[in-house]
Structure 1
Amino acid sequence: MAGTISSAGIGAGIDGNSIISQLTALQRSQPLQRLKDAASSLDTQISTVGTLKSLMSTLQDAARKVTDKGAWQLATATSSNTAVAVKVTGAALPSSSTIEVSQLARAQTLASAQFSVASGAAAAKFGVAGKLVLTSSSDSSKIAAIEITADMTLTQVAEAINKQSSVTGVTASVIKDANGERLSMNAKNSGAANGFTVIGDSVHPTSPEVLTALGLDASGDPRVSAPPAATDAVLQQGLNAKAKVNGIDVESATNEFKQTLPGLSFTVSQVTQAGAPALVTVAADTDGMKKNLQAFIDAYNALNAKLADVTKYDAESKTRGVMQGDSSIVSITSELRATLSSNLGGINLSDLGIQMGKGGAAVVRHLCDGQGQTGSCVARP
């Protein structure tokens, strides 16, 4: 039979056609396998580059914190009294201050006279028709006129007021008790200057009937500039927070004092007892400085170790790193190690005790014994 070796001896009965077919298939598959191997190697390199990019980004963030001048002005602030909470907001210098709180900030509120709920009704109705005009005390151009009908419930009136709150800075709600309901209007912002009026102006006056229903004095001209006095309504004027800092009177429209002390803000939550002020102390935060340095060292060493791993050659297994010989990676390695002896943002890392150790790793020299250790100790700034 053609293609079959049939002579006696070695190879007798071997199917020559099958062997030729297999050899031909193998020959054809070798280029495809080489492409698959190349693709796999390329995927590995792409993954490696992604890892290196992530490590470099981490190092960049850590270096930015070390070279930022603010990193060397870190401070901690504490208060001896829970009535005063303090936080560092900028370059705060070591210091101590006394803070006495005499008044907390408050937003203006106006609770109307009581409206009774009719027998069998689910809610109180306003009862009279007219116009309610709300004006911001801090900006007279922020004015809104709310049309009220006699059959509107207090909840519906509150909803109408809230629709204009972005203009007037006033929100409304309904307070209920066993005797009836009250319409409550509240300034969004605390402070003496951030209140509101319900008097209107010559163009948009509040109806006298509405003033009377709310429990406000309607005996005068409702178009005058002064707000009407409360009769059956309950009015609480807005207040500023007041305190003494080292004996100096200070005020804030809110309970937070943002610019009173340099580099600090403090928030008051209650009035302090006479003769018992809060003591606010600011101290240098050396732990924060050390933490930033340690983060830089850890990020540097993580990148250095990865670069060494992807470019090494293992003589025992005769395998090379996926990026061995890559000129870009070699350049990055050289530039990375040069940073330890360079000036970063006006700071010499060597002045901080950071230097190069074995394998290009960053090491820190102890002040106490002069021994270098990788990442486990940070020199005092």
Structure 2
Amino acid sequence: MSLTATGIGSGLDISTIVQVLVDSEKIPKEALFNRTEDQINAKVSAIGTLKSEISKFQDAIEKLQSGELLSQRKVSTGDSQFFTATAGKLAQSGSYSISVERLAQAHKVGGAYAADPKAAIGEGSLDFTVNGNSFSVDIDAADDMYAIASKVNSASDNSGVVATVVKTDLGNRIVFGSEETGVANQISVTATDTSGTGLSDMFNGASLSTLVNPQDSIIYVDGQKLTSSSNTVDDAIAGVTLELTDADINSTSTLKIEQDTDAVKDNIQEFVDSYNNLISSIEKLSSYDVDSEKAAALQGDSMIRSLESQLRKMVSERVTVDGGEIALYDIGISTDRYGKLNVDSTKLEESLTNNMAMIEGLFSTPDTGLANRFDSLADNYVKTGGLIDSRNNSYTEETKRLTLQREAFSLKMEQLESRLLKQFNTMDLIVAQLNQQSAGLVERLNSLPGSISNK
């Protein structure tokens, strides 16, 4: 006799019994899996936070790696419309009177006019010379103005000529302009025909007219004349670049250059703030709360302990600059008992005013400067394939192993449930058979002569 539902023979709720037995083994293990997964996720999140703070710190110290950013200058030109100015680290503080007599111009010449720019011109070659450099362009019989201009512009050895097709009331013409300003960059054009005289008629002799004369710029700095082939003048005042924008010899503008200590101070303060934020983040990510008895995600992690140790060691070290030594505390930056940096504004301003060269060396000396060393340290952690990437890879592998363990355990529980159901159903069938046998025996006993049930 087969059973169509579990528990019919024994009267037991076999499904519930099996579920309870399976859950007694399944639930604790799944809870362990969940705790492990939560721990891995917490570590991944913590590592991401750490990487973000290191990157912010790296952005801040980048501004101290360059001597240019540590020796910034404030430039004032008043309301001058004649030039703009930028000053580098070599620029000395001072005031200069500047007047612009004329701007530099690029040479431009135009060929003869033609009614139809798409008509063929001739066959041969055009030879160009600019500032002693020459190149040649072959012209085919079918080439029109646009084709010739394109060949000139795309010539691999073009030495600085720009060709354009210009339409005017008198017709169309090809204009050749020098890429660079100044008398030295005057353009020379020679046409040579191999068939007919089309090229010579358009570009030789009187056919080629000057549209813009080449000229050098002329300025006066404190009454001293300087001629330049460009409107960008970077040798009139050491460390200063002038961009000429207009000319009037009768107008004089004043250029003032001062050391921009405020900008440098801001960059140093940004470094201090970013360092303190990084230290705070490290402490938070690796802390242990005694009251709640709860550890942070990276508590006890060797990588984060090593980073903190290196950072604290580095801020206390001295750097050799020009035979002398200097450290952060010499310029007003000290470390408190919590490992955070504090800034003595008065001392820092005094150092910026009187000892800028040493401050520049402290931070930006190649290899040994603090900013460069901090950057190398940070890069070891955040670069592709760095320590944080390696740690994330290990977390990924842990997650994969956990997934495989979950799958194997789930299969084991399915097998356990199947086995228990089979065993209980077998027991249920046996009980049902025993009950049937018992009922039959009672019935036969009751049918015997002398049985109480027969009287």
* Partner amino acid, structure 2, of 1:348: A
For residues 160-209 of structure 1, the C-alpha deviation after alignment (integer angstroms, 9 at most, x for no partner) is: 33332752422222222233222211122222222322226xxx679893
The answer to whether structure 1 residue 25 and structure 2 residue 17 are counterparts is: no
Cα distance in 2 for partners of 1:356, 1:366 equals: 14
Alpha-carbon offset, residue 211 of structure 1 = 6.0
Find out whether 1:246 has 2:237 as its counterpart: no
Q: Which moved more, 1:16-25 or 1:240-249?
A: 16-25
In structure 2, the residue matched to 1:280 is: 255
Secondary structure of the 1:244 match is: strand
- How far apart are residue 287 of structure 1 and its match? 1.1
User: Quick check: 1:98–1:280 contact (8 Å CA) kept in 2?
Assistant: yes
Larger Rg: 2
CA contact (8 A) 2:193 2:200 kept: no
SS in 2 for 1:198: strand
- Counterparts of residues 36-55 of structure 1 (less than 5 Å): 36-55=34-53
Q: Indicate whether 1:144 and 2:140 are aligned.
A: no
Q: Residue 384 of structure 2 aligns with which residue?
A: none
Residue identity opposite 2:281 in structure 1: K
1:158 to 127, 132, 149: 149
Shift in alpha-carbon separation, 1:210–1:244, aligned structure 2, 3 A: farther
Q: Distance in 2 between matches of 1:234 and 1:343?
A: 65
Preserved CA contact (<8 Å) 2:85 2:242: yes
Q: Deviations over 1:256-285 (max 9, x none)?
A: 0123322221110111332x3222211010
Identify which of 298, 303, 317 aligns with 2:278: 303
Counterpart in the other structure of 1:181: 172
Which residue number in structure 1 is paired with residue 265 of structure 2?
290
CA separation of 1:232/1:293 partners in 2, compared to 1, >3 Å: closer, same or farther? closer
Describe the shift of the 1:359–1:379 C-alpha distance in structure 2 as closer, same or farther (beyond 3 A): farther
Q: 2:343 aligned with 1:355, yes or no?
A: no
Give the conservation status (yes or no) of the 8 Å contact 2:122–2:196. Answer: no
- Which of 127, 130, 133 is matched with 1:134 structurally? 127
Query: Which position in structure 2 is the counterpart of 1:169?
Result: 160
What secondary structure is seen at the aligned counterpart in 1 of 2:197?
helix
CA RMSD across the alignment: 3.4
Shift of 1:291: 1.1
Q: Matched residues in 2 for 1:232 and 1:192: separation?
A: 18
Where 2:346 maps in the other structure, the secondary structure is coil
Residue 338 of structure 2: SS of its match in structure 1? helix
Supply the distance in 1 between the matched residues of 2:349 and 2:222 (Cα, whole angstroms): 37
Task: State the Cα distance separating 1:255 from its structure 2 match.
Answer: 0.8
1:209 corresponds to 2:194: no
Q: Is the 8 A contact 2:107 2:181 kept in 1?
A: yes
| Maintained 8 Å contact 1:257/1:266 | yes
For the 8 Å contact 2:95–2:256, the answer to whether it is kept is yes
Of 265, 268, 272, the residue aligned with 2:241 is: 265
CA contact (8 A) 2:121 2:144 kept: no
State how far apart, in whole Å, the 1-side matches of 2:84 and 2:275 are.
Answer: 37
Distance in 2 separating the partners of 1:344 and 1:46: 36
SS at match of 2:158: helix
**What TM-score do the two structures reach when normalised by structure 1?**
0.76
Using a 3 Å threshold, how does the CA distance of structure 1 residues 168 and 73 change in structure 2: closer, same or farther? Answer: closer
How far apart, in 2, do the equivalents of 1:271 and 1:281 lie?
20
For residues 196 and 18 of structure 1, do their structure 2 counterparts lie closer, same or farther at Cα, with a shift above 3 Å needed?
A: same
User: What's the counterpart of residue 104 of structure 1?
Assistant: 103
Aligned equivalents of 2:176, 2:156: Cα separation in 1: 10
Runs of 5+ in structure 1 lacking a partner? 5-12, 118-122, 218-229, 369-377
**What stretches of structure 2 of length at least 5 have no aligned partner?**
1-5, 353-455
Question: Secondary structure at the residue paired with 1:325?
Answer: coil
Where 1:259 maps in the other structure, the secondary structure is coil
Q: Structure 2: which amino acid aligns with 1:89?
A: G
Alignment of 1:189-208 (within 5 A): 189-199=180-190
Change (3 A) 1:67 1:108: closer
User: For residues 311 and 335 of structure 1, do their structure 2 counterparts lie closer, same or farther at Cα, with a shift above 3 Å needed?
Assistant: same
> Residue 134 of structure 1 contacts residue 196 of structure 1 at CA under 8 Å; is this kept in 2?
no
Report the Cα distance in structure 2 between the residues aligned to 1:260 and 1:206, rounded to whole angstroms: 49
In 2, distance between residues paired with 1:20 and 1:248?
103
More helix by share: 2
Q: Relative to structure 2, which stretch is displaced further, 20-29 or 71-80?
A: 20-29
Distance 1:52 1:124, change over 3 A: closer
Number of the residue aligned with 2:300: 325
Give me the TM-score of the superposition, normalised by structure 2.
0.65
Q: Aligned with 1:199: secondary structure? A: strand
Distance in 2 separating the partners of 1:154 and 1:74: 51
**C-alpha distance in structure 2 between counterparts of 1:125 and 1:181, whole Å:** 10
1:342 aligns with 2:317: yes
**TM-aligned CA distance change 1:70 to 1:184, over 3 Å:** closer
Corresponding residue SS for 1:272 = coil
Q: Which position in structure 1 is the counterpart of 2:33? A: 35
Provide, for residues 306-329 of structure 1, a one-character-per-residue CA deviation record: whole Å limited to 9, x for no partner.
Answer: 112112223443322111122332
Residue deviations 1:225-275 (CA, integer Å, cap 9, x gap)? xxxxx467334342222222333332332210123322221110111332x
Equivalent pairs: percent with the same residue? 23
CA contact (8 A) 1:65 1:292 kept: yes
Deviates more, 1:353-362 or 1:262-271: 353-362
Deviations 1:122-159 (A, max 9, x none): x346675343422222244x32133253x654333333
